[in-house]
Structure 1
Amino acid sequence: MNRWVKRSILVGVGFLSVGVSYQAAQAKDDNPIGDTYSAETSPNLFKPTKVKANTETSFDIVLKPRCQQAMLQDALDVNTPGNPNFKKFLTPSAIRDKYGQSTSVTNSWKSYLAKHHLKSFVYDNGLLITVTGKVKYIDKTFKVDMNKATYHSNPLQFGKHAPAIPSDLANSVWTLLGMGTHNPKFVFPNASSAISKSVDNTYAFSGYTKQFVDHYNVQPLYDQGMTGKGQTVGIIGFGAIKKSNAYNFWKHEHASTDMSRYTVKNVPSTMMASNMVSKNDAEATMDVEYAGSVAPQANIRLYWSHNAIPTVMNMVNAYSTAFNENRVSSISSSWGLGSSSLLTMLKNRQVLSPDYLEVLDTILAQGALQGISDFSASGDYGSVPYQTTGVSGTHALRDRSANAVPPMESNPWVTSVGGTTLPFSKNFGTSHNPGSLPFGKVSVAKERSWGVDYLWPAFKNSGLLAQLPDLLSMTGAAGGGGFNKLVATPQYQEGVPGVNTFNARNYLSNLNQPMMDSDLLHGTSTGRNYPDVAADADEMTGYKIYYPVDTLKWVASGGTSIASPQMAAMAAVINSQPGRQRMGFWNGQIYKLAQQSNSPFHPMNDTTDNSNLYYTGQPGTVYNQASGLGTINFAKLAQVYQ
Structure 2
Amino acid sequence: MFAKLRRKSLPLSLGLLLTGLSTGAMAANATPATDAGAAPANQTMQVTLVLKLRNQAALEDYIKQTVTPGSAHYQQFLTTSQFAQQYGASDSDVARVQAYLQKQGLSSQVLPSHLAIMTTGTAAQLDALFSTSIHNYVSRENGRQFHKPAGSAQIPSAIADVVDVASGLSNEHVYLAHHVSASAFTALNSQKPKTNAQSSAAAGSNGNPTATGIPEEYTVGDVANFYNINPLYQRGVVGKGSTVGIVTLSNFYPSDATLYWTDIGLATKPNRIKQVHVDGGGAIDGGSGETSIDVEQSGGIAPYANVIVYDAPNTNDGYVDVFARAVSDNVADSISTSWGLPEIANFAALNIPGASNTDTTDVGDLRAFHAIFLEAAVQGQSLFAAAGDSGAYDTVRDFGYAPGPGNYTSAPLTVDSPASDPYITAAGGTTTPYSYSFNGGPVESITQESVWGWDYIQNYFNTYVGPNVIDLFSVGGGGGVSVYWHTPFYQAFTNGVETSQPHQTLVYDDPVAGPTTQLILPSHFQGRNVPDISLNADPESGYMFVLDGAINYGEGGTSFVGPQLNGITALLRQSSGHRIGLWNPQVYAIQNIFGYGRFSAFNSIRAGDNWFYYGQPRYNEGAGIGSLNVANLDVFLRSGF
Moved more, 564-573 or 525-534: 525-534
| Alpha-carbon spacing, 1:108–1:239, altered in 2? closer, same or farther (3 Å) | same
Separation in structure 2 between the aligned mates of residue 464 and residue 250 of structure 1, nearest angstrom:
42
How far off is 1:251 after superposition?
1.3
Aligned with 1:493 (options 487, 491, 494) = 491
1:30 paired residue number: none
2:534 paired residue number: 534
The amino acid of 2:456's aligned partner reads: Y
The alignment partner of 1:584 has SS state of coil
2:290 paired residue number: 283
| Alpha-carbon spacing, 1:446–1:305, altered in 2? closer, same or farther (3 Å) | same
Q: 1:337-389 CA deviation, whole Å, 9 max, x = no partner? A: 33415634334338996344333322211111110111111111111222659
Does 2:309 correspond to 1:302?
Answer: yes
Moved more, 533-542 or 221-230: 221-230
2:256 paired residue number: 245
| Alpha-carbon spacing, 1:600–1:189, altered in 2? closer, same or farther (3 Å) | closer
Does 2:598 correspond to 1:600?
Answer: no
Separation in structure 1 between the aligned mates of residue 416 and residue 347 of structure 2, nearest angstrom:
10
The alignment partner of 1:278 has SS state of coil
Separation in structure 2 between the aligned mates of residue 326 and residue 484 of structure 1, nearest angstrom:
28
Aligned with 2:58 (options 70, 75, 81) = 70
| Alpha-carbon spacing, 1:10–1:114, altered in 2? closer, same or farther (3 Å) | farther
* Paired residues for 1:226-625 under 5 Å: 226-256=237-267, 260-268=271-279, 278=285, 281-307=288-314, 309=315, 311=316, 313-340=317-344, 343-349=347-353, 354-386=363-395, 397=408, 399-402=410-413, 404-430=414-440, 440-460=442-462, 464-466=466-468, 468=469, 471-472=470-471, 474-500=472-498, 526-548=526-548, 553-577=551-575, 580-594=577-591, 595-596=593-594, 598-606=599-607, 610-619=608-617, 622-625=618-621
* Paired residues for 1:125-274 under 5 Å: 125-139=113-127, 145-147=133-135, 149-150=149-150, 152=152, 154-156=154-156, 167=158, 169-181=159-171, 186=172, 201=191, 204=194, 205-206=215-216, 207-256=218-267, 260-268=271-279
Equivalent pair of 2:432/2:536 in contact (CA under 8 Å): yes
Q: 1:550-574 CA deviation, whole Å, 9 max, x = no partner? A: xx53333100111110000000111
Does 2:80 correspond to 1:92?
Answer: yes
Q: 1:528-547 CA deviation, whole Å, 9 max, x = no partner? A: 11111110000101110011
2:91 paired residue number: 103
The alignment partner of 2:529 has SS state of strand
Separation in structure 2 between the aligned mates of residue 264 and residue 189 of structure 1, nearest angstrom:
21
| Alpha-carbon spacing, 1:486–1:136, altered in 2? closer, same or farther (3 Å) | closer
Does 2:623 correspond to 1:627?
Answer: yes
Unmatched segments (≥5 aa) in structure 1: 1-8, 17-38, 157-164, 431-438, 504-522
Unmatched segments (≥5 aa) in structure 2: 1-15, 136-147, 195-214, 356-360, 502-522
| Alpha-carbon spacing, 1:193–1:87, altered in 2? closer, same or farther (3 Å) | closer
Separation in structure 1 between the aligned mates of residue 249 and residue 453 of structure 2, nearest angstrom:
27
Report the TM-score when normalising by structure 2. Answer: 0.76
Separation in structure 2 between the aligned mates of residue 334 and residue 305 of structure 1, nearest angstrom:
13
| Alpha-carbon spacing, 1:358–1:188, altered in 2? closer, same or farther (3 Å) | closer
Separation in structure 2 between the aligned mates of residue 202 and residue 545 of structure 1, nearest angstrom:
19
Separation in structure 2 between the aligned mates of residue 293 and residue 112 of structure 1, nearest angstrom:
47
Equivalent pair of 2:541/2:554 in contact (CA under 8 Å): no
Separation in structure 1 between the aligned mates of residue 600 and residue 180 of structure 2, nearest angstrom:
42
How far off is 1:108 after superposition?
3.6
How far off is 1:45 after superposition?
6.5
Equivalent pair of 2:415/2:479 in contact (CA under 8 Å): no
| Alpha-carbon spacing, 1:259–1:429, altered in 2? closer, same or farther (3 Å) | same
Percent identity of paired positions between Structure 1 and Structure 2? 28
Moved more, 580-589 or 597-606: 597-606
The amino acid of 2:389's aligned partner reads: D
Separation in structure 2 between the aligned mates of residue 298 and residue 11 of structure 1, nearest angstrom:
36
The amino acid of 1:380's aligned partner reads: D
Separation in structure 2 between the aligned mates of residue 525 and residue 287 of structure 1, nearest angstrom:
33
Equivalent pair of 1:203/1:541 in contact (CA under 8 Å): no
Separation in structure 1 between the aligned mates of residue 85 and residue 102 of structure 2, nearest angstrom:
25
Separation in structure 1 between the aligned mates of residue 109 and residue 27 of structure 2, nearest angstrom:
41
| Alpha-carbon spacing, 1:109–1:187, altered in 2? closer, same or farther (3 Å) | closer
The amino acid of 1:220's aligned partner reads: P
Equivalent pair of 1:440/1:458 in contact (CA under 8 Å): no
Provide the aligned C-alpha RMSD in A: 3.9
The alignment partner of 1:337 has SS state of strand
The amino acid of 2:335's aligned partner reads: I
Report the TM-score when normalising by structure 1. Answer: 0.76
Separation in structure 2 between the aligned mates of residue 41 and residue 173 of structure 1, nearest angstrom:
27
Equivalent pair of 2:239/2:571 in contact (CA under 8 Å): yes
The amino acid of 1:82's aligned partner reads: G
Aligned with 1:80 (options 58, 61, 68) = 68
The alignment partner of 2:271 has SS state of helix
How far off is 1:109 after superposition?
2.9
Equivalent pair of 2:47/2:169 in contact (CA under 8 Å): yes
How far off is 1:80 after superposition?
2.0
Moved more, 368-377 or 405-414: 405-414
Q: How many residues align?
A: 551
The alignment partner of 1:485 has SS state of strand
1:31 paired residue number: none
Moved more, 385-394 or 474-483: 385-394
| Alpha-carbon spacing, 1:246–1:153, altered in 2? closer, same or farther (3 Å) | closer
